[in-house]
């Protein structure tokens, strides 16, 4: 059955500034975040690389205060600090400036001002684990064993391991994690590239310096930070070698007991929280926030970064959606576990795609183009109606796909090192497709920094804005619907059990406002019995939003659910 009329979206109104959230509202809990990879969003100077002015120019697309825009509430900007770009910004050479490729501080202040005018918050990527090897701190540190900043990084004498290395630790990007500095005869540690030396967070001077970097941006008006690999920042004091296990890459052949996820990491999260809380505590209406990247297959360790829900990170990314296949049962169990693990006052957060992972529409998609888009709608409805803060990744709202990139066009160091094994990240970082022109409205350059996906002819913003049945229209309508529905933005969740295979159903409740969400992850019909919904007495519902039903239609159970149907009932 084809999609028909959707439920009407909630009405929105422009905001003049971001000074204060409505009373009782917590913006980072209730809002929708949108991750922008600046190199790929919009290029305004014709060099083939996206920039800050390009983001400013497209703010009205993200939220102009009306339902004609996407309706997002906050932007997470991937790194924009000066960097030699060995890892595209995750190797910072100066935490208090803007890389010239993206503009300058004046451009950033303009972006911040214009975003705040529209009620859009700005969250910056902050990289605490390591710096660039060209950062002035590391240049000073490596200058001499007697340097006052020598112990700002992790230096060790030659050891008994192969090549004289101190232990067996491996870099996640490949090869040993120890690099010999010929001048001083010692090794320095790098969990990632050798151009990304790890800071020594056991040194209190390092902590103070890093908190000062955060305050620089908070003083400017930035609304918070996404903390890169926050669970990596401490290493075993004794530098013990990791035990071995079975894996494909050398890095995967170790149990990482001593080079990441140490208990001290969560204590630094507490200190960072106190820094941002000094600019406005939760519930003040002007609070700042922290969201942590804790890339771990152990949700228990990830949940520890919440503390009691008020004293560590505000949000912690849950990576279960990345590990899951497109199965209702997998998502239901992952969400149930996360809900059980979190402290009472903690708030979940979910995402489907980001700059490090293959795009979810490509991971989940199979079959015809119609089936791929239907699956994407089911996934989007889940993301935007669960209890938790949703993070979108640029282009997911139009259905951007992974792109196979030829070896000569690869930019990602991971992709280059392991080619032809498709583990690189470039596939998910291609330029935003604004229209179907040669440069897709992204650039006037004949050579964008990454190739443009040939599917631009039908996957682009301009075309989808004109089509009321497009994926973009679906995202836009659903986001605005979410905004006007208290149960969806801040309500509790009750996950329904006993549903047919392929059905994920849950109820969201906030006071007198309640919604029932029904998601069919299967390409075949399913019937949901009355007793699954609760009680034997017949209760009539009306359609609030749906991929397959008209808004306002009456519904009763047992209910036959269409293939890949996503419906919100009230």
Which residues are catalytically annotated?
Answer: 228, 293
| Longest CA–CA separation in the chain, Å | 80
Q: Are 515 and 507 in contact (CB under 8 A)?
A: yes
Give the β-pairing of 33-36 and 389-393: parallel
Q: What is the DSSP letter of 79?
A: P
Give CA–CA dist 56/479, Å, rounded: 21
The set of residues, in sequence order, having a beta carbon less than 8 Å from that of 2 and lying 6+ positions away, is none
- Sign of the alpha-carbon torsion through 34, 36, 40, 44: positive
Alpha carbons 261 and 307: distance in angstroms, whole number: 15
Residues 43, 52: contact at Cβ < 8 Å?
no
**Cα 266 from Cα 273, distance rounded (Å):** 11
| CA distances in angstroms from 10 to 20, 43, 485, 552, listed in the order given | 21, 33, 8, 14
CB 156 within 8 A of CB 187: yes
Run of H or E including 280: none
CB atoms within 10 A of CB 325: 10
Of 98, 100, 93, give the one whose Cα is nearest residue 112: 98
Judged by DSSP in three states, 446 sits in: coil
Q: Distance between CA atoms of 386 and 53, rounded to whole angstroms?
A: 33
Q: Which residues make Cβ contacts (< 8 Å) with residue 314, sequence separation at least 6?
A: 28, 224, 273, 282, 289, 290, 291, 347
C-beta of residue 72 within 8 angstroms of C-beta of residue 62: yes
Cβ 120 vs Cβ 223: under 8 Å: no
For residue 42 the two structure tokens come to 């919009």
Q: Do β-strands 503-510 and 492-495 pair in parallel, antiparallel, or remain unpaired?
A: antiparallel
Answer yes or no: are the C-beta atoms of 465 and 472 closer than 8 Å.
yes
Element (H, E) at 33: strand 33-36
Q: Quote the tokens at residue 424.
A: 């690189």
Q: Give 3: exposed, middle or buried? Use CB within 10 Å, 0-12, 13-18, 19+.
A: buried
- What DSSP state is assigned to residue 447? S
Tokens representing 101 are 């490729």
């Amino acid at each position: 059955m084809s999609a028909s009329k959707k439920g009407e979206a909630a009405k929105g109104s422009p905001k003049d500034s971001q000074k204060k959230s409505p009373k009782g509202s917590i913006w980072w809990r209730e809002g929708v975040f949108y991750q922008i990879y600046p190199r790929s969003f919009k290029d305004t100077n014709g060099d083939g690389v996206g920039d800050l002015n390009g983001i400013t120019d497209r703010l009205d697309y993200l939220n102009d205060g009306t339902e004609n825009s996407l309706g997002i509430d906050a932007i997470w900007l991937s790194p924009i600090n000066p960097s030699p770009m060995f890892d595209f910004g995750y190797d910072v050479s100066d935490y208090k400036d803007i890389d010239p490729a993206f503009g300058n501080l004046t451009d950033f202040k303009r972006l911040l001002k214009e975003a705040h005018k529209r009620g859009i918050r700005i969250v910056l990527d902050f990289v605490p684990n390591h710096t660039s090897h060209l950062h002035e701190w590391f240049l000073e540190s490596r200058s001499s064993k007697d340097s006052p900043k020598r112990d700002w990084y992790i230096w060790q004498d030659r050891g008994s391991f192969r090549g004289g290395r101190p232990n067996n630790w491996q870099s996640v990007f490949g090869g040993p994690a120890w690099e010999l500095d010929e001048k001083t005869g010692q090794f320095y540690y790098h969990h990632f590239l050798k151009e990304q030396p790890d800071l020594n967070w056991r040194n209190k001077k390092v902590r103070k310096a890093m908190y000062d970097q955060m305050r620089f941006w908070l003083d400017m008006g930035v609304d918070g930070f996404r903390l890169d690999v926050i669970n990596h920042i401490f290493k075993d004091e004794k530098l013990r070698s990791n035990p071995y296990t079975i894996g494909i890459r050398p890095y995967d052949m170790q149990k990482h007991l001593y080079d990441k996820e140490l208990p001290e990491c969560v204590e630094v999260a507490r200190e960072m929280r106190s820094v941002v809380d000094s600019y406005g505590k939760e519930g003040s209406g002007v609070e700042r926030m922290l969201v942590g990247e804790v890339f771990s297959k152990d949700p228990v360790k990830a949940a520890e970064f919440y503390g009691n829900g008020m004293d560590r990170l505000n949000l912690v990314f849950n990576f279960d959606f990345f590990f899951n296949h497109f199965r209702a049962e997998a998502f239901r169990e992952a969400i149930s576990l996360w809900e059980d693990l979190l402290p009472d006052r903690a708030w979940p957060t979910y995402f489907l795609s980001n700059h490090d992972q293959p795009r979810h529409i490509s991971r989940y998609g199979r079959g015809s183009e119609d089936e791929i888009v239907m699956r994407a709608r089911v996934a989007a409805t889940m993301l935007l109606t669960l209890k938790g803060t949703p993070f979108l990744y640029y282009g997911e709202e139009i259905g951007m796909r992974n792109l196979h990139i030829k070896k000569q066009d690869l930019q990602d160091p991971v992709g280059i090192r392991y080619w032809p094994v498709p583990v690189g990240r470039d596939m998910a970082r291609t330029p935003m497709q604004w229209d179907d022109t040669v440069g897709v409205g992204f650039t006037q350059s004949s050579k964008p920094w990454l190739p443009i996906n040939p599917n631009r002819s039908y996957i682009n913003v301009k075309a989808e804005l004109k089509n009321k049945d497009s994926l973009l229209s679906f995202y836009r309508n659903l986001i605005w619907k979410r905004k006007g529905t208290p149960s969806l933005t801040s309500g509790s969740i009750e996950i329904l059990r006993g549903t047919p295979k392929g059905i994920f159903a849950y109820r969201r409740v906030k006071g007198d406002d309640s919604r029932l969400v029904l998601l069919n992850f299967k390409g075949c019909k399913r019937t949901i019995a009355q007793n699954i919904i609760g009680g034997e007495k017949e209760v009539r519902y009306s359609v609030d939003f749906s991929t397959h039903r008209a808004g306002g239609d009456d519904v009763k159970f047992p209910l036959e659910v269409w293939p890949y149907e996503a419906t919100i009932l009230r």
